[in-house]
Structure 1
Amino acid sequence: MKELEARLEERFRKRGYPGMSVCIRGPEGILYEKGFGYRSIEHRKPVDADTVFGIASMSKSMTALACCILQAEGKMSLEDPVVNYFPNFHIPGAPDECVTVRTLAMHRSGLPPMEPLEWSIAMNSKERDTHWYREMVRTAPNKMDRIEQIVDYISAGNYESVGAPGEYMSYSNEGYAVLSYIVDQAAGITLEEFLKKRIFEPLGMTRTVLDVDCSEARAMAGDNITSLFERDDDGKLIWDDNWSILPPFRGCACVKSTAKDMTRYYQMLSNGGVWEGKQVIPAEAVELMIGKAFPLRKKYYYCMGLEKSLIGGKMVCQHSGGLHGVSTQGGFMEGGYSVAVLCNEGDVDVEEFQWICYNYILGLPLETEHYWAVPSGGTFSRPEMLVGDYLAREGLPAHCVVEWKDGALSGTYQDKPVLLCWCGQNIFVAVDAKNPEKRVTTLRFYTRNGFAWGVKCGSRIYQRVADARP
């Protein structure tokens, strides 16, 4: 325990984050919980076990679980076409019957990365005057504050899908926005009410709420809610209390909670819906969400709102989250163990802290890394197939440019120079060109007719720019 705390403390100080909360829970109860740093630097208020953070996209698994509960109770089916709930919903080139609740929940509907979530944040939140903000306001067709506007944008089809429904996984916030409103219709009550009555209250998650504007979270938390921190262009830490407001994306990113509450939730899933000896969630719903129908392997597989993989020989289901002033990671390990790491600085990666906690559970050296993609030291046989410019339109246009020079694959990822290290098959690790020890992202290329038409950067598929073939 002393070694665990020392390692977390050392890593927290090294990263320079303002505040963070960590909780590890096991079959016998809380194994470790600690607040690091501050929730308010101006007033020197420390983070403690009850400090409320945003959890951002960790919210998605709760929306997915709601869908699975409703199927288990016969109120809807995961195979229901989305048009049953939104008659005007269409994805170009896809039969309406094939775009289902399940394909949305698994990010396999064919939707590419697109702009509505970023537009919604810019148009409905208090934002700093940055290039991103000005561009989002300039390009937004409307306030993106109603689900109908998202459905209309998707259905207009001014984009190219990333494949047939069910064919490829590409992360889609818009898909989960639509799911939030499908739950409303199937349950007969709002998603907010459903989560409160069916998940939060039975689990004793007294410091957890789904709300859009943070008003309920503030009332619930009292003074013990974190401020939100970012880095400016010069790397200086700045802060505010302006929570991201993105009304139609309720079940996508709007839950606020504590690390302690989130480990209750994840431990319940680890135990098949059982909490403190009581079946609080139907076992069928948990099986539908993350069960044997989904493969278990070292490379993660996105089930229903959670990524499933092997870590240290044990099944782990987890998810990360990120918004303004929010960087999170949470999940469970088979055997009744759960971990949550919540940080109040945006756009940072806290997975290394999650790994330290998993290593503590597994009895491994705490510094053990668990990357599924590892450079092989070999050379890819057809590098010319990968050369090109790949684009994602999620907020500001993001490019992944691949070049073949002097016998090596290199390029830029989101305007940062990278080198590509082959890991086997069509998988590469992109590392910082100036600091090759620093991993930037994992790349998986999709080839057809002699060249790559797309590349999955992390969890999102970037598509080749039409005139950028080798």
Structure 2
Amino acid sequence: MLVFTAPEGDATVAVIGIDQAADGSDAITMGWQKFDPDFVREIELAQEPPARDGWDQITVAGYETSPAEKLVLQGIALRKGDDWTVMLVRGALATIAKRGAQLGQAFGSLSPANFEKESFAGKTAHELTPERIAELREFVSQSMAQLKIPGVGLALVDNDRIVYEGGLGVKSLGSDDPVDANTSFMVASNTKGMATLLLSSLADEGKLRWDQPVVELYPAFRLGSDETTAKVLVEHLVCACTGLPRKDMEMVVATSGDTPASNTFDLLSGTEPTSGFGEVFQYNNLMASAAGYIGGHLIHPDMELGAAFDQAMDERIFVPLGMEATTFDYSEAMADNWAMPHARGFGEEVQPIEMVWNSVVRPYRPAGGAWSTAHDMALYALNELREGKAADGTQLFSAENLLKRREHNVAIGEDAWYGMGLMESRSTGVPVFFHGGSLLGYKSNFWFIPEAGVGAVLLTNSDEGQALLGPFQRKLMEVLYDGKPEAEENVEAIVSLGAQGRAKGREGVVEAGDPAVLTALAPHYSNPDLGPVHVMQIDGETWLHMTSGRSKVGTRANDDGTSSVFFTSPGLAGFILLIGEQDGKRTLTLDDSQHEYVFVESDG
């Protein structure tokens, strides 16, 4: 048995050898007996994803914990022949969240003795012929049906040209209006790489250096303490390597139409990293937002930050690349050919989402506020493959500064790294660059493989689209390099395991809410950082109203005797607030892993 402890001292991982277990759950239970004989919790849900990376069987087990514990408990059992390798994770939620990429890197490196990983290194990729394009389209179409994704925008690039662009499915459930290559989707965090491309153009002109202190360019910038602020260089703004954790709840809960772009800098000024620069991967939207706004400000210093960024992106990125439909203007994007977002509510049915929740990213739009199309995103991928050259050979961006965005700033897993708004994976021996985007009801990805000269774009109008992104990448590699057929099985497993997980998550939840719990809630709560929460009755249903939007709620009984308010509206289902009391006043507590926000009963 090997036991590893996080530097914080409140999280451990044990790796244990187990012989002669009946199954994966039995192996995990035996592992706990060796690691901690006093551990008495029962497995809440055990699942078996497809066996990969040389293992004959994989079991993943989770344990029920109450929100107040802020605890992660998990067991993973890997079988090769008759021998089991068990990994047990126990630790504070904040630490596990902070060091998730390191855990993924460690677990991803664990393989059976003498295992040789599949590798396409040195192989020549197949051309994306009509037959191979049809195979990819058929895979997407079948996966959409299995995952209940209404619509997809798809584009493929090969040999320096777009070889396919189009749509599958519909823009909205209940409509016959089909998705096409020019249908607009929110591409969310794919915006980050576009914003760093803006910085590349400024580096080309000598208006900034990647190793330049940010305060030299924008003196108002502040990150926590004076000491931390002084260390932040331009390249740190979108590297996800400064140790700054997510601080998204201010965006998700407390944003309104009046929130200015400058709020990015207000929020950063009160935030301090929780780990050292370069120590761990911690994704942060506010830093990426600051990067874009500073870039826009350097170009148009006399304009409001948001307007300056919008105009700079049009002038420097969208117009030069021919991305005519890409915009930050919601009314323009939603005027005609656009895909409506969808998600599951409390049950299994996929439903449309209120767009108001996706308006919250607008004040922070360099981090994820762009609307685009399959066609435009294919042009964006072509620019990456051409290393900044236009089709006529004009050098729009220097290769040096464009490629700077691909440098390995911090590991995000085994053979995977984060650059600046771009990620790289070499899990199959071939460098694949990509980035994803996630907002409520919109999940997307774009990929480019320089060695193959291939790019791909996948835009979806459903939260279920997240489950298609990884399998699509796998299918693309299978088609290009004759890889082992795994993608279809991956989708089937995601569908099955996802349904099991959602069913387990609904246990103990009363969709309409326990009347005794709901009537005991205060009508109004407030938090100094996130603003007010109002409890309202509308047509016999209980709703929670926040600055950013509203959701129907039910209640959940926790295993420690406490109760939580449980959001049930599509896109928000599963979001919880712990019901409690503080200094004689009723409270609702929101925990986002590394931050705790307590809403205290107020007068309204």
Query: TM over 0.5: same fold?
Result: yes
Q: Is the 8 A contact 2:408 2:417 kept in 1?
A: no
Structure 1 position 225 matched with structure 2 position 341:
no
Shift of 1:337: 1.2
Local SS of the residue matching 2:321: coil
Q: Is the 8 A contact 1:116 1:174 kept in 2?
A: no
Map of 1:152 onto structure 2: 266
Structure 1 position 263 matched with structure 2 position 378:
yes
Local SS of the residue matching 1:25: strand
Map of 2:228 onto structure 1: 95
Structure 1 Cα separation of the partners of residues 488 and 141 of structure 2: 18
Structure 1 Cα separation of the partners of residues 428 and 243 of structure 2: 33
Matches for 1:125-164 after TM superposition, within 5 Å = 145-157=259-271, 161-164=273-276
Shift of 1:113: 1.7
From the superposition, tell whether residues 181 and 197 of structure 1 become closer, same or farther in structure 2 (CA, over 3 Å).
Answer: same
Matched AA of 1:256: W
Shift of 1:273: 0.9
The one-character-per-residue Cα deviations of 1:42-72 (angstroms, maximum 9, x if unpaired) are 3321111221111000110011111122112
Map of 1:178 onto structure 2: 290
Map of 2:197 onto structure 1: 65
TM superposition score normalised by structure 1: 0.68
Map of 1:29 onto structure 2: 161
Structure 1 position 198 matched with structure 2 position 330:
no
Map of 2:462 onto structure 1: 345
Q: Is the 8 A contact 2:471 2:487 kept in 1?
A: no
TM superposition score normalised by structure 2: 0.54
Local SS of the residue matching 2:211: coil
Local SS of the residue matching 1:184: helix
Q: Is the 8 A contact 1:4 1:366 kept in 2?
A: no
From 321, 326, 330, the counterpart of 1:208: 326
Unaligned runs of 5+ in 1: 126-142, 372-393, 396-414, 418-460, 466-470
Larger RCO, structures 1/2 (Cα 8 Å, 6+ apart): 1
Larger radius of gyration: 2
Structure 2 Cα separation of the partners of residues 218 and 464 of structure 1: 34
The one-character-per-residue Cα deviations of 1:196-219 (angstroms, maximum 9, x if unpaired) are 2222222222221133xx112234
Q: Is the 8 A contact 2:289 2:365 kept in 1?
A: yes
Local SS of the residue matching 2:400: helix
From the superposition, tell whether residues 291 and 153 of structure 1 become closer, same or farther in structure 2 (CA, over 3 Å).
Answer: closer
Shift of 1:464: 11
Q: Is the 8 A contact 2:188 2:439 kept in 1?
A: yes
Superposed structure 1 runs of 4+ greater than 6 Å apart: 292-297
Structure 2 Cα separation of the partners of residues 326 and 209 of structure 1: 16
The one-character-per-residue Cα deviations of 1:279-332 (angstroms, maximum 9, x if unpaired) are 222222212211588899952110010001215322111011111221011121
The count of aligned residue pairs is 355
From the superposition, tell whether residues 462 and 218 of structure 1 become closer, same or farther in structure 2 (CA, over 3 Å).
Answer: closer
Map of 1:17 onto structure 2: 149
The one-character-per-residue Cα deviations of 1:208-237 (angstroms, maximum 9, x if unpaired) are 1133xx112234xxx211111121111222
Q: After the TM superposition, which of the residue ranges 286-295 and 91-100 deviates more from structure 2?
A: 286-295
Structure 1 position 281 matched with structure 2 position 402:
no
Unaligned runs of 5+ in 2: 1-130, 302-307, 491-528, 531-556, 560-591, 597-604
Matched AA of 2:192: K
Structure 2 Cα separation of the partners of residues 118 and 366 of structure 1: 41
Structure 2 Cα separation of the partners of residues 208 and 110 of structure 1: 32
Structure 2 Cα separation of the partners of residues 464 and 255 of structure 1: 27
From the superposition, tell whether residues 97 and 27 of structure 1 become closer, same or farther in structure 2 (CA, over 3 Å).
Answer: same
From the superposition, tell whether residues 33 and 184 of structure 1 become closer, same or farther in structure 2 (CA, over 3 Å).
Answer: closer
Structure 2 Cα separation of the partners of residues 365 and 199 of structure 1: 38
Local SS of the residue matching 1:46: coil
From 474, 495, 501, the counterpart of 1:355: 474
Q: Is the 8 A contact 2:166 2:374 kept in 1?
A: no
From the superposition, tell whether residues 310 and 112 of structure 1 become closer, same or farther in structure 2 (CA, over 3 Å).
Answer: same
Q: Is the 8 A contact 1:296 1:309 kept in 2?
A: no
Shift of 1:370: 13
Indicate the RMSD between aligned Cα atoms, in angstroms. Answer: 3.2
From 442, 449, 454, the counterpart of 1:333: 449
The percent identity for this pair of structures is 26
